[in-house]
Amino acid sequence: MQKELIKALTQLLGKENILTETEDLLNYAFDATAAMPKQTPDLVVTPRSTEQVAGVIKLARQYGVPIYPRGSGTNLCGASIPLERGIVLMTLEMNRIIEVDPENLTAWVEPGVIIQSLNDAAAEYGLMYPPDPGTVTTATMGGSVSMCSGGLRGLKYGVTKHYVMGMEVVLANGEVIKWGGKTVKNVTGYDLTALFTGGEGTLGIMTKVLVKLNPIPEARKSLLAVFDDLDKAGNTISAIIRGKIIPATMEIMDNTTIRTVKKFTGADLPEEAEAVILIEVDGYREAVEREAALVDEICRRSGAVSVTAAKTDEERDKLWLARRNALPALAQVKPTTVLEDATVPRSQITAMLRAIRAIAHKYDLPIGTFGHAGDGNLHPTILTDVRDEAEMERVHKAVDEIFAAAVQLGGTLSGEHGVGIAKARYLPLEFGPAGVEVLRWVKEAFDPHYMFNPGKVVLRG
Amino acid sequence: MSIYSDFHSARDELYKCMKCGNCQEVCPLYQTTRKEVTVARGKIGLLEMFVTGEADMTAGMAERMSYCTTCMACNEKCPCGVQFDRILLAARAEGVRRHGLHPVKRTAFTALRLQRFFNFGMRAGSKLQAAVFRRVEGRDYGARMRVDLGLLGQKKVFPRLAAKPFRSGRPALYVSQPRMRVAFFTGCMINYFYSDMGEAVLDVLKHNRVEVLIPENQGCCGVPASVNGDVASARALAERNLRAFEDSGAEAVIVACSSCGSAWKHSYERLFEGDGEWEPLAAKWAARAYDINEFLVNVIQYDREGLGRVERRVTYHDPCHLRRGQNIFREPRAILQSIPGVELIELKKPDRCCGMAGSFCIVHPDLADKVLDLKMADVAQTPAQTVATGCPACRLQLWSGLINSGLPQDAVHVVQLLQESYANAAAG
**pLDDT over threshold 60, residue B111:** yes
Nearest-CA distance from B54 to chain A in Å?
10
Nearest-CA distance from B367 to chain A in Å?
14
Out of B18, B21, B46, the one facing A23 most closely (by C-beta) is B46
A23 vs B58: CB contact, 8 Å cut-off? yes
For residue B243, with 0-12 CB atoms within 10 Å meaning exposed, 13-18 middle and 19 or more buried, which class applies?
A: middle
> What is the per-residue burial (b if ≥16 Cβ within 10 Å, else e) of A139-173?
bbbbbbbbbbbbbbbbbbbebbeebbbbbbbbbbe
Q: Which of B12, B36, B82 to mutate to test the interface with A (most CBs of A within 10 A)?
A: B36
Domain residue ranges of chain B, discontinuous segments joined by +: 7-99, 312-427
Residue A90 backbone dihedrals phi, psi, to 5 degrees: -85, 135
| CATH assignment of A334-408, among 3.40.50.1980, 3.30.70.2740, 3.30.2010.30, 3.40.50.150 | 3.30.70.2740
B334 contact A CB<8A: no
The pLDDT-based confidence of B173 (bands split at 50, 70, 90) is very high
The predicted pLDDT at position B158 comes to 79
Name A160's Cβ contacts closer than 8 Å, sequence gap at least 6.
A131, A144, A145, A147, A148, A149, A150, A197, A198
ipTM of the complex: 0.94
Single-letter code of the amino acid located at B3: I
The predicted pLDDT at position B142 comes to 66
B56 contact A CB<8A: no
pTM value is 0.93
CA distance A407 to A405: 6
Kindly report the CATH number that applies to the domain delimited by A219-325: 3.30.70.2190
Q: Look at strands A127-128 and A87-90 and give their pairing.
A: unpaired
The predicted pLDDT at position B148 comes to 54
Give start-end residues of each CATH 3.30.465.10 domain in chain A.
Answer: 97-215
Neighboring chain A residues of B35 at a CB cutoff of 8 Å: 19, 24, 27
Q: Which residue has the higher pLDDT, A207 or B109?
A: A207
A20 contact B CB<8A: no
Closest residue by Cα to residue A133 from B22, B349, B203: B22
Range scoring the smallest mean pLDDT among A50-59, A333-342, B276-285: A333-342
Q: Chain B: residue nearest A71 by CA?
A: B34
* Mean pLDDT for the stretch of residues B369-384: 96
Q: Is A278 left (phi over 0), alpha (psi -120 to 50) or beta?
A: beta
Neighboring chain B residues of A93 at a CB cutoff of 8 Å: 34
Give start-end residues of each CATH 3.30.70.2740 domain in chain A.
Answer: 334-408
Neighboring chain A residues of B8 at a CB cutoff of 8 Å: none
Pairs across A and B, CB distance < 8 A: 77
Greatest mean pLDDT range, A227-231, A351-355, B164-168, B414-418: B414-418
The predicted pLDDT at position B1 comes to 63
User: For a pLDDT cut of 70, what percent of chain B falls above it?
Assistant: 95
A19 contact B CB<8A: yes
Q: Look at strands A306-309 and A377-384 and give their pairing.
A: unpaired
Q: Chain B: residue nearest A115 by CA?
A: B25
B61 contact A CB<8A: yes
Neighboring chain A residues of B61 at a CB cutoff of 8 Å: 23
Give start-end residues of each CATH 3.30.43.10 domain in chain A.
Answer: 2-90
B63 contact A CB<8A: yes
Nearest-CA distance from B38 to chain A in Å?
10
Out of A93, A325, A331, the one facing B34 most closely (by C-beta) is A93
Kindly report the CATH number that applies to the domain delimited by B7-99: 1.10.1060.10
**pLDDT over threshold 60, residue B147:** no
Neighboring chain B residues of A24 at a CB cutoff of 8 Å: 35, 37, 64
The predicted pLDDT at position A182 comes to 98
CA distance A246 to A153: 10
Closest residue by Cα to residue A236 from A321, A154, A347: A347
The predicted pLDDT at position A1 comes to 62
**pLDDT over threshold 70, residue A371:** yes
**CATH class of the B312-427 domain in this structure:** alpha beta
Single-letter code of the amino acid located at A375: D
Give B71-90 pLDDT, tens digit per residue. 999 999 998 889 999 999 99
The predicted pLDDT at position B141 comes to 55
| CATH assignment of A97-215, among 3.40.50.300, 3.30.465.10, 3.90.79.10, 3.40.228.10 | 3.30.465.10
* Mean pLDDT for the stretch of residues B32-37: 96
A117 contact B CB<8A: no
B54 contact A CB<8A: yes
Determine which helix (DSSP H) or strand (DSSP E) holds A450, and give its type and residue range: none
Neighboring chain A residues of B37 at a CB cutoff of 8 Å: 23-24, 27
Range scoring the smallest mean pLDDT among B3-12, B76-85, B319-328, B361-370: B3-12
Q: What is the DSSP string of B194-244?
A: -HHHHHHHHHHHHHTTEEEE--TT----SHHHHHTT-HHHHHHHHHHHHHH
Give B402-414 pLDDT, tens digit per residue. 999 999 999 999 9
Edge-to-edge strands, sheet with B133-135: B133-135, B143-145, B157-158
The predicted pLDDT at position B140 comes to 54
Nearest-CA distance from A88 to chain B in Å?
12
pLDDT mean across residues, chain B: 92
The predicted pLDDT at position B145 comes to 67
pLDDT mean across residues, chain A: 95
Give B13-32 pLDDT, tens digit per residue. 998 899 999 999 999 999 99
The pLDDT-based confidence of B152 (bands split at 50, 70, 90) is low
The predicted pLDDT at position A386 comes to 86
Out of A26, A74, A325, the one facing B45 most closely (by C-beta) is A26
Angle (deg, nearest 10), helices A427-446 and A389-408: 90
A163 contact B CB<8A: no
A388 contact B CB<8A: no
A32 contact B CB<8A: yes
Long-range pairs for A392-398: beta carbons < 8 A, 24 or more residues apart: A392/A35, A394/A363, A394/A364, A394/A365, A395/A35, A395/A338, A395/A363, A395/A365, A397/A363, A398/A359, A398/A360, A398/A362, A398/A363, A398/A365, A398/A367
Name A72's Cβ contacts closer than 8 Å, sequence gap at least 6.
A92, A114, A135, A138, A139, A140, A143, B21, B24
Closest residue by Cα to residue B20 from A136, A412, A195: A136
CATH T-level assignment (fold) for domain A2-90: 3.30.43
